[in-house]
A and B are shown apart, each in its own frame.
Chain A
Amino acid sequence: MNDPSGHARKTALTSYDILQTPAEHGFDDLVALATQICDAPVGLISFVSSDRQWFKARIGFAPCETPLSQSVCAHALAEGDILIIPDLTQDSRTRDNTLVTDEPFIRFYAGAVLKADNGVAIGTLCVIDTVPRPDGLTPQQRSGLQALARQVMSQLELRRAIGERDRALTLSDEVRDALQVSEERFRLSSRATTDVMWDWDREGDTFHWDGALTRVYGHAASTVAPTAAWWFERIHPEDRERVRRRVLGADEAGSRWADAYRFQRADGSYADVLNQAFLIRNKAGRVVRMTGVMLDNSARVAADEHQTLLNHELSHRLKNTLAMVQAIAAQTLRNAASLDDARDALLRRLIALGKAHDILLASNTEQAGMEAVIRGALALHDNQQAGRFRIEGPALEIGPKAALALALMIHELATNAAKYGSLSTETGHIGIRWRIEEADDAPQVRLSWTEEGGPPVATPTRAGFGTRLIERGLAGTIGGVVKLAYLPGGVTCDLVAPLAGFQEKAEILN
């Protein structure tokens, strides 16, 4: 229905903010009174918009809205004050209306027009019957219906006035919020000078930055547009959609928003930032303003990256350890006299290795004390007898490679001593001594293992993995030279290694 006054009607309806609102007592009461006065089964307060009529209150009629084609009220708007149709089947405007020809088969209509304060008709207060009334309404019913229609308009005016008053109150809420924002800013401004503050008026879409933006990120004031779009464009393309979605969707309850993203500097590079913001909402709960602080987060991100690097390094070391264990297992199984022997030997070697690892881990320096490593390796063989082991030497921190190799070497020497040497008798004992001495150009460590008081020594017929561990375990990059001797009085083992090789730490990636 193309109504020339359609625009004016739309404006009026908008100003009353009435369409699609929930039921209200005042309007329900008025429509009830109308049906009583007119003795009718159906009463409606209807508002006519561009494509439908919608009912603020209704009695005896189920739908809350109908298309315009079903609207009788629409015809009333053209009439003037009141429209009365005694028999809807007899009126050319209504005889083909589906509410007339079909359920609920309405027959009588009386509607008093609702007029806005600008004079535009916006709807009706009407009563409807399913039987025709040739005589229409009585004079009292007619004046009553019109009086009630005026009351409906009073209700609308009252509602609108209350809405305006509430908006005025919201404004004072905004003043209070502004004060709170100001206090927040003052508190925030005492923080680090790499913080940049911004203020976004979401309703007017103006976005302001404080001067720190230029100082911290290099953007000259003349190049900064006071819009949210400018901010979004500076966010890294990979982060932009996520940030935009989250900030525009911050309509759940809560007064704060935070996100981390990359923000572009004037020179084109990106900085890792952490952005916190304080949200201000209107009475309806919609976010109307945001005040934010952008913190430079690069230091933290750098720390995270360093952590990742460390994790890679740990992973690498773990793989190296696994490779070493695999090699120990393979070597132990080669030429093993029996599977049982191999299993025992392997388990013990792994225990010795584990112990050395524990000692290394216990210190934060990636080094271990020489004495602690030696005692750790002997733990499996120590029967708590006093005087069994005489361990002497200066305090000396050694690196992880040397610590593991030394632990295995001591373990193998002790294993042999327990099977064939000094540890196989009650009276046998072992001296382990080390010292640091000056050599040609660099200091070196000298360690000696001396067995005494044991059974007569026999040179073993074959050199198994254990002998290899003793003789060659400290070779290679550590640079140790080992001499194993089967002297009549007892087995001796001498190790000489450069101090530098002994103390070498593993590399950390940088």
Chain B
Amino acid sequence: MEKIVSKPTALIVEDENITRMETVDIFADAGFEVIEAWTGDMALLLLENSPHIEVVFTDVRMPGRVDGLRLAQLIAQRWPETAVMVCSGPVTFRPRTLPDKARFFPKPFSLSEVSATARALVA
């Protein structure tokens, strides 16, 4: 009898298409089932309608009402079991405004570091 080991699910939230493609691939290589969103609203929709999502990787700046920071806060409130990884470009971004279970990655991020962190978070 084979044990079916299901892959953990990662949600990638990024509005730039090519960057999102690469991030999706990184998480797929790291052993995740990957779903994508390109706005904070879309991400919330997916979170509400999916079975458990283990990790959310999000850019800070996104079009729409919900930016990455707000998304991270909402996830901490509504899906406390979900790990959040936030990546950003603006110099003025201060990591201490993130909720506790979040990790911060300045852009451009190290691909291997993201991969390693993602695996560690679900281990």
Give A388 to B79 CA distance when docked, in angstroms.
Answer: 56
What is the chain A residue whose CB lies nearest that of B19? A327
- Count how many chain A residues have C-beta atoms less than 8 Å from C-beta atoms of the other chain: 29
What is the chain A residue whose CB lies nearest that of B109? A323
Give A477 to B61 CA distance when docked, in angstroms.
Answer: 13
Cβ–Cβ contact B91 & A312, under 8 A: yes
Contact of B89 among A323, A328, A334 (CB under 8 A): A323
Complex interface: chain A residues within 8 A of B51 (CB): none
Q: How many A-B residue pairs have CB under 8 A?
A: 71
Contact of B91 among A315, A330, A334, A405 (CB under 8 A): A315
Cβ–Cβ contact B108 & A331, under 8 A: no
Complex interface: chain B residues within 8 A of A181 (CB): none
What is the chain B residue whose CB lies nearest that of A480? B17
Secondary structure class of chain B's binding surface, majority of residues: loop
Cβ–Cβ contact A312 & B21, under 8 A: no
Instruction: Type the 1/0 row for B13-39, where 1 means its CB is closer than 8 Å to any CB of A.
Output: 001111111110100000000000011
Cβ–Cβ contact B22 & A327, under 8 A: yes
Cβ–Cβ contact B17 & A330, under 8 A: no
Complex interface: chain A residues within 8 A of B109 (CB): 323
Cβ–Cβ contact A468 & B89, under 8 A: no
Secondary structure class of chain A's binding surface, majority of residues: helix
- Which residues of chain A from 431 to 475 have a CB within 8 Å of any chain B CB? 468-469, 472-475
Complex interface: chain A residues within 8 A of B61 (CB): 316
Cβ–Cβ contact B90 & A316, under 8 A: yes
Instruction: Type the 1/0 row for A313-344, where 1 means its CB is closer than 8 Å to any CB of B.
Output: 00111011011101110110010000000000
Cβ–Cβ contact B19 & A323, under 8 A: yes
- Which residues of chain B from 41 to 87 have a CB within 8 Å of any chain A CB? 61, 63
Of A327, A331, A474, most B-chain CB atoms within 10 Å: A327
Complex interface: chain A residues within 8 A of B25 (CB): 330-331, 334
Complex interface: chain B residues within 8 A of A477 (CB): 15, 38-39, 63
Would you list 11 pairs from A and B whose C-beta atoms are within 8 A, ordered by A residue?
A316-B61, A319-B90, A320-B107, A323-B16, A323-B107, A326-B111, A327-B23, A328-B18, A334-B25, A472-B21, A477-B15
